[in-house]
Amino acid sequence: MDRPEYSERLKFEHDLINRRVTWLLTSQSILFAAYGFALKVPSVLLLRTIAFIGAAIAILIFVGILAAFAAKYCTWQDFKTASGNPNEPFWVRTSITYIGFVPEFALPIVFTIAWAILYSNAK
């Protein structure tokens, strides 16, 4: 695998992560709006259903983000082996780039916690 192919694979995987985060934010916005409207209807079942769906979507998207991260890692391993660059760093060179990935991993967790709280407090 040459460097341009390696770069394209990493870009593709990062684009997939970006799409998943976009889906997460879009779905959560819609579901929080639905939850807000559902507060006007005295239905614990409806509130809990929306909260459950919100948490389930956040968890599934988190799994997708983890899978894309794993794919990036595998691509890096393939590149190191195929290119004869065993000391190639893992696609970043600074700690700032690592910090940039925190929202991608943290957002689904935060949404899951928020939905769990709303689920347990539904009355």
Total structural domains in the chain? Answer: 1
Host domain of residue 85: 3-121
Q: What is the pTM of this model?
A: 0.85
What pLDDT is stored for residue 1 in this prediction?
66
- Residue pLDDT tens, the chain, 123 long: 677 887 888 888 889 889 999 999 999 999 999 999 999 988 999 999 999 999 999 999 999 999 988 988 888 888 888 877 787 777 666 778 778 889 999 999 999 999 999 999 998
DSSP per residue, 49-96: HHHHHHHHHHHHHHHHHHHHHHHHHHHHHHHHHHHT-TT--SS--SHH
Look up residue 80 and give its two tokens: 């190191």
